[in-house]
Amino acid sequence: WVVVMDFKSMYPSIIIAHNICFTTLVEEGGIPAPNGAQFLPPEVKRGLLPDILSRLMKDREEAKRRAEEAKDEEERRYYSGLQIAIKILMNSFYGVFASSFYRFTDKRIGEAITSYARQYIKDIISALESEGHQVIYSDTDSIFVKSPYEDLEGSIRFGEELARRFSKGATQLEFEKVLDRLYSHGKKKRYVGRAVWPEEDIIIRGYETRRTDTFDLLSELQMQLFERILEGDTEGAVRIARETIERTRRGEVPTEKLVISRTVKAVEESKIRSTYVNPDSMANVQAARKLRDRGYELVPGMKVSWVVVNASRTPQVVEPFVDSESFSAKPDYDYYAERLISTTLRILEPLGIGKSELLKGTKQSRLFSFGTAERRRGREGGPKDSSTLTLDRFL
């Protein structure tokens, strides 16, 4: 079991807890941050932005409470959206401090915030590891810890205890979820996990399922791969990928599953030239121009859809795709197959699956020891397969 801990609004919490603001930044006489920047304590001078963030944080908590107590789905969606909007607004405060165009910017302020974040994470990891706990993964605002318990109930208690122990003042560590499977690429913010508490879900971070240039067939294949991987079925993942790639090369996939969509910022030619540096190379601009020439009325900011019909040319040739119309052009199936191959390899390569294994043969590789079969074998006292790629060794 893997317990996932997450800092609640980490950067805003740090700003509040340490009174970080351009109004409190001083050269000397303040409280030093880990990066050396000094800020006046709140009893001397309350910072403007910490004060604003404190109020926003209360507003967000109120919106979350109202969402939980909502009497109908419409009300729940409203307050859920409101709390997300407030969260985005709060997180933007760090962004302006770290930018070069903000009038009151000072790089020491942004660096102070991130230095506190790193210190928090390192201190918690150090404390956990000194007690024999295994920290599997961490990033800027979350920590994944291997549960010392063999059951879900014990793992939940463990997560709740960590939250109580490491929450201090405005900096709150939340017990977010429990995973029974985790697959990490080894890079920050790139992992897939299967959550079993507080609700069952597949958690995907860092992969391109939501990228603007992703098409449905690619997204569906990724989900199928993740499901097989989390079940420990690497051979099944390779088989599904190979079959999908072969069907794509043969043109046996629906055209609508190859559609790519993206917004276009400008539709008039003069505005296109002034908005984009190299518009002729952009597929969304090419599709918008063709739609405009066919008599469609376009407005800036609308989403246009297209299918790649010739990727060997520079720029690649695309044809607009309109749901209500038939599509007569032939997709460049090789282009789409290569996209599938590239994405599949990014997912499977950490397991030792290369292009030759993907396209020509199979390479069996069983996954890490967080699977139910491994736990069952451990409870029964049976021997463990020494060839199993455990999560410890994988990471």
Cα 246 to Cα 232: distance, rounded to the nearest angstrom: 23
pLDDT band at 186 (very low <50, low <70, confident <90, very high): low
> How far does Cα 147 stand from its chain's mean position?
23
Count other Cβ atoms within 10 Å, centred on residue 130: 8
Residues 341 and 32: their CA atoms lie apart, in Å, by: 50
Q: Which residues pair with 6 in a beta bridge?
A: 142, 174
Q: Which of 18-32, 94-108, 154-168, 293-307 has the lowest mean pLDDT?
A: 94-108
pLDDT at 211 over 80: no
Stretch 291-298: mean pLDDT, rounded?
A: 92
Q: What angle do the packed helices 10-17 and 73-97 form, to 10 degrees?
A: 60
d(CA 122, CA 140): 10
CATH fold for domain 2-202? Palm domain of DNA polymerase (3.90.1600)
Tell whether the model's pLDDT for residue 1 goes beyond 50: yes
According to DSSP, residue 205 is labeled: E
Tokens 């805003």 locate to 12
- Sign, CA torsion 334/335/338/340: negative
- Among the ranges 3-17, 146-160, 204-218, 361-375, which has the highest mean pLDDT value? 146-160
pTM score: 0.71
Per-residue confidence (pLDDT) for residue 267, from 0 to 100: 86
- Tens-place pLDDT, residues 335-386: 999 999 999 998 988 888 888 888 874 344 333 334 433 433 343 344 334 3
- pLDDT band of 212, cuts 50, 70, 90: low
Identify whether the C-beta of residue 35 lies closer than 8 Å to the C-beta of residue 29.
no
Alpha-carbon gap, residue 113 to 93, rounded angstroms: 11
Distance CA 221, CA 244 (A): 8
Domain spans, the chain: 2-202, 260-320
- Residue 304: CB partners within 8 Å, gap ≥ 6? 261, 262, 263, 264, 284, 287, 288, 291, 298, 320
Q: b/e map of 180-218 (b: 16 or more CB within 10 Å)?
A: bbbbbbeeeebbbbbbbbeeeeeebeebbbeeeebbebb
Q: Which residue has the higher pLDDT, 394 or 243?
A: 243
Give me 121's structure tokens. Answer: 């994470």
pLDDT, residue 365, reads: 38
Strands (E) in 24-113, as ranges, are 25-26, 31-32, 38-39
Which pLDDT score, from 0 to 100, does residue 209 have? Answer: 64
Q: Which two tokens stand for residue 394?
A: 């994988």
Question: At residue 47, does pLDDT exceed 90?
Answer: yes
